[in-house]
Chains A and B, each alone.
Chain A
């Protein structure tokens, strides 16, 4: 009895020692903490959720380990307001001590987080899905990277496509913040140059619920509406436009006809068929990398959308960049992450929609699509590719000196 007890004690001690050794081995390569910020509240709550899915997918594809270091994701939420995004980021960086920050989702948030990143020079910030031009074009931050193309780049080619459809005069309805400014700039620069007219622009607040006054302002003589609204705003607008008996064809912003909107349940949904849009994503893109990505997304998230949304894809791209960079430096984040940042700067990132490289402001140069909404045999709506444009840079091919950043009044062609 006594001896058996002693054996037991020995076994316990041995186990404890082994466990200690084991944890010591793990301690040699401590986990890399990555902060992940998306909007789980507010108008982009659905998009934010899919953004989280995309980022998680990138981690799962590597089984949560890069270069022998475990990846630990710490999530945070905002509601598309810049002050809330900065508070959440500050908590992740200063309290949770993350090494790398991925986020935020929305345009104004991106500008605010970029400004904050300047006060934390030893942390690397990688964008989530925010797409305001000003983030990387005006006062760029040396430690803020964006591996997705921006809202202006996404709209390239759409102006021509609209004129091809015969839309000679359009009204713009867009949310009143930096990202839609960029989207409208990307559309109008081309559209105005080719002779299109935009007599009225209506800027509405983000998270607005009542669009009746905007709908009342739609002139009779416009051929189509350019609707740059996202998330719940887009759904609200489409429903109210339907109820008001509106029948103008639509031209969509990049997040207006993303999967999170195409899958809402409403009568107006049918009339979205035929809507053209510019986006960094096209559901029916034929490339094998894209198909593999969609299959992987569906396998990992049975409760997700029939096809990943823009937010899902773009968060995936940025998180993949973060992890690929980590792989390139073998998990070495020493010296204020200097090597890591060099690796990111030089990297040619393989994404499901083609290769991405960065310009001198750490802004992506990549592929964009012109798409059209069609319906498949099961009744699901999806975006088919009208045109694919590679190597789109941030100034849309114009010399940087001539390029004017989008705002409420710029560009203008009434």
Chain B
């Protein structure tokens, strides 16, 4: 297979998610305008109310280890969902970007280990951490946007592994295998932000902001152009769009989201080590994104919830020494029976429901993308 036809094949197989273009074309003009004017719907309110009430409904364990962890991981996976879903670029280096942010927070702020720790105020450390992570993401994007499909995966994987070994073998800055321990959020306004409930709300605020930002961005001219580039880069180029610039910008935006998630995840664990940016985690982020589905930003968070639940409770389901089998089987089942993760299942279900009710509407039509 020639490189060009391979690229073409990869493009066809790339998930065709986040497809408001599809949907919008099918939706009649009138309801569409209504949707634009008032995008808030009943189920949004219910979900938001549930998320806000979550710490009061459950134990601190669920609030922190399930809720907050899923939100932080979901935010990192969201950056990949955005890149892959809207931009058609599957980057395995999103955890690397998150890890860079975590490391920078530890290096500029405080950590209880050897190696550099400058002890600057937390807000400055966080700001610098996110900035440097965005720069790194832009650099990764700049390196990899000229490739497509499997080549993008390869080059981002290579960058991720390179950073893993850098962190592992550099003692002066990254403190080698030990990494940075005791990297905690500050005590602010009398609240210790690593306590279960405050940390959950912190993670929720960041996750909501990230989610809404991505939803908004997909409707801006930039977002539409990015999806156009995903579907047909040559035509977009002919129309006068700078394909490379759009893609690099998408990496930068995704980098910012991953960086925030990375800072949260570092605070959640209280440490950042080479293990946090090892291949295991690079793949885990991909698993989360694929599990949830890439057709909508919410998929990242759904995937993260399933992932975290499995990680915690698979051991209760089966023989203690074989619990990784359960995790593997569930992942396999979801990916095998749905082309687009949990969201794909959901779409198939609602499409079937609406057909049964006799309606034909756009939901059934939009089912095309996964039933292909």
A-B residue pair count with CB separations less than 8 angstroms: 62
Question: Cβ of B275 and Cβ of A81 under 8 Å apart?
Answer: yes
Scoring A41, A115, A205, A407 by chain B CB atoms within 10 A of each residue's CB, the highest score goes to: A205
Which chain A residues (396-414) contact chain B, with CB distance < 8 Å? Answer: 407-408
CB proximity of A42 to chain B, nearest CB, Å: 10
Scoring A49, A83, A175, A206 by chain B CB atoms within 10 A of each residue's CB, the highest score goes to: A83
Count of chain A residues near B, Cβ 8 A:
26
Which of B176, B177, B320 contacts A77, CB < 8 Å?
B320
CB proximity of B104 to chain A, nearest CB, Å: 19
A137 CB within 8 Å of chain B: no
Name which residue of chain B comes closest to A36, CB basis: B320
Question: Cβ of B61 and Cβ of A177 under 8 Å apart?
Answer: no
Name which residue of chain B comes closest to A205, CB basis: B177
Which of B168, B171, B271, B324 contacts A83, CB < 8 Å?
B271
Q: Which residues of A contact B65 (CB under 8 A)?
A: 87, 90-91, 94-95
Encode contact with A along B32-71: 1 for CB under 8 Å, 0 otherwise: 0000000000000000000000000001111011000000
Question: Cβ of B274 and Cβ of A77 under 8 Å apart?
Answer: no
Name which residue of chain B comes closest to A48, CB basis: B321
Q: Which residues of B contact A86 (CB under 8 A)?
A: 269-270
A82 CB within 8 Å of chain B: yes
CB proximity of B370 to chain A, nearest CB, Å: 33
B323 CB within 8 Å of chain A: yes
A76 CB within 8 Å of chain B: yes
Name which residue of chain A comes closest to B269, CB basis: A83
Cα A408 to Cα B177 with chains together (Å): 12
Question: Cβ of B177 and Cβ of A206 under 8 Å apart?
Answer: yes
Cα A283 to Cα B181 with chains together (Å): 37
A176 CB within 8 Å of chain B: yes
A40 CB within 8 Å of chain B: yes
Question: Cβ of A203 and Cβ of B177 under 8 Å apart?
Answer: yes
9 tightest A-B contacts by CB? A94-B61, A176-B177, A83-B269, A205-B177, A75-B320, A95-B61, A40-B321, A81-B275, A90-B65
Known: A49-B321, A83-B275, A95-B312. 20 other contacts (CB 8 A): A40-B320, A75-B315, A76-B315, A77-B320, A77-B323, A81-B273, A83-B269, A83-B270, A83-B273, A87-B312, A90-B65, A94-B60, A94-B61, A95-B65, A175-B177, A176-B178, A205-B168, A205-B176, A205-B177, A407-B114
Jot down 13 A-B pairs with beta carbons below 8 A, ordered by A: A76-B315, A77-B315, A77-B321, A83-B270, A83-B273, A83-B275, A86-B269, A90-B61, A95-B59, A95-B312, A176-B176, A176-B177, A203-B176
Residue numbers of B with Cβ under 8 A of A are 59-62, 64-65, 114, 168, 171, 176-178, 181-182, 269-271, 273-276, 311-312, 315, 320-321, 323-324
